[in-house]
Structure 1
């Protein structure tokens, strides 16, 4: 006869396994909440520093959202949140990191701005907020520009893509990489695949609606989040990301 104690052993093993999984999951959540830029250690060569010049075939550089501008250009620290300030009567400058909640705030400011052109200088950030800002720019019928030695990286190109006309200086740097769609930077890869795929679909639809070739995303999908792929002038033109 099997004792009650022996009957409970499989249940205890199962509960122990569930508890162990929950502890591991909690550890991942804790580590990822320490900082937005936490990532697992990787092996292999690191990409060259962002300050290094690029050339066709050598376009991947290290990504740091606090970086200033292009090689040899110092513009000061990047604002932690997006700021829209008038430059003159025809241009307003949108600069800083794109944080959650910036979309609605900046969209309201863009709608109220009399400037017909939005200059952009941003290392990127929240994809959803970038898409919301982009839609506001297109609805307001504004052009977008990226000035000499300034940057538009990560989610920022989705804002730039919304301009009715889109101009980038020769020394501007526009770059893409893999991104996430939620608050957590570590877990979505294996716990929110559906959300990631849905987010990629939203970005592709956005680019298509703005007249930009969604194949632009192929470079981002193959570039890890800690690196950035700098698009060449030929690529900017072939994907219709620039119109002038």
Structure 2
């Protein structure tokens, strides 16, 4: 029996209303299946769109090596997210004396570390000639105190090639009588904020505190002979971002006075550590 004959026999077995119901049910089933497929496709598209538009998922977590990458033609290093301090940089600043009168100062500038720095300088006498910095910043008051001591002792400061000096660290850096920055050294600033803002149990006028700290920093930069445009860049940059100076800006603003005379690979092995 052919298909046409079988179909004619099937029609003869059912009344007209039953046939219409079967056809309607079939159309509904196909429609539901098509809608389900469309919804599944849209759901996948929406998920992809959400992922693409979510900065937390698409943007890489920026760490120190990312902002130290070479500039691409036409690109800019300013306004990058504040780098995450990892490893040694996340630890409180420590001091290591190496050959050539170089004192390595690495890590976060924690409250009170300026006292340890002063003790280190006093203990080493006239041996220390250069303070070499690698720090994501930290306590502004301690950075100012260490910077003033560096200038008082007429020491030089340096940020080696590929190293970081961010946030309050440049305040310490500009204390140097001579200031050197290696190739691709990242020196950057942003807004200061009162420490009380980090403690929910302390109720103070945070705006007043921030303005007072800002005034101290401006006065200090003026005393160190630094162009105050440096502080304009800092105040224009949110505290979760970092304005990284270009090499020519470091010279124009008098942040650096020369390039390093000694490369990191030439520095002798460490002798002492505190």
TM-score (norm 2): 0.64
For the residue of structure 2 that corresponds to 1:78, the secondary structure is helix
Distance 2:118 2:253 in 1: 26
Tell me: CA distance 1:98–1:58, structure 2 relative to 1, closer, same or farther (3 Å): closer
Q: How does 1:36-55 map to 2 (within 5 A)?
A: 49-50=62-63, 51-52=66-67, 53=69, 54=71
Report the structure, 1 or 2, having the larger helix content: 2
For 2:215, what is the secondary structure of its paired residue?
A: helix
Matched residue SS, 2:158: strand
Aligned-residue offset at 1:170: 1.6
Post-superposition, which runs of at least 4 consecutive aligned residues in structure 1 deviate over 2 A? 44-50, 52-58, 110-113, 181-188
Residues 201-230 of structure 1: CA deviation (Å, up to 9, x unaligned)? 110111111111122011111111111111
Query: Deviation of residue 111 (structure 1)?
Result: 3.3
1:169 equivalent in alignment to 2:169: no
User: In the alignment, does 2:247 pair up with 1:233?
Assistant: yes
Secondary structure of the equivalent of 2:237? coil
1:173–1:103 CA distance, 2 compared to 1 (3 A): same
Q: Distance in 1 between matches of 2:160 and 2:169?
A: 14
Which runs of 5 or more residues in structure 2 are unaligned?
1-53, 259-274
Q: Does 1:83 align with 2:94?
A: yes
Asked if 2 retains the 8 angstrom alpha-carbon contact of 1:149 and 1:171, the reply is: yes
Please state if 1:197 is matched with 2:211: yes
The answer to whether residue 157 in structure 2 is matched with residue 144 in structure 1 is yes
Deviation at 1:110?
Answer: 2.3
- Equivalent residue for 1:105? 116
Alignment of 1:172-183 (within 5 A): 172-183=185-196
1:45 Cα shift? 6.4
Contact 1:127/1:181 (<8 A) preserved = no
1 CA distance for matches of 2:236 and 2:163? 24
Deviation at 1:61, TM superposition (A): 1.4
Q: What secondary structure is seen at the aligned counterpart in 2 of 1:100?
A: coil
Structure 1: give runs of 5+ residues left out of the alignment: 1-43, 68-75
Equivalent pairs counted in the alignment come to: 193
* Residue 214 of structure 1: aligned partner: 228
Native 8 Å contact 1:81 1:97 kept in 2: yes
Q: 1:45 to 1:202 in 2, by over 3 A?
A: farther
RMSD: 2.5
Q: Is the 8 A contact 2:117 2:146 kept in 1?
A: yes
Q: Secondary structure at the match of 1:109?
A: helix
Q: 1:79, CA displacement in angstroms?
A: 4.7
* CA displacement at 1:171 relative to structure 2: 1.4
The structure that has the greater radius of gyration is 2
Q: Alignment partner of 2:80: what SS?
A: strand
Q: Aligned ranges for residues 11-160 of structure 1 at < 5 Å?
A: 49-50=62-63, 51-52=66-67, 53=69, 54=71, 57-67=76-86, 76-113=87-124, 114-160=127-173
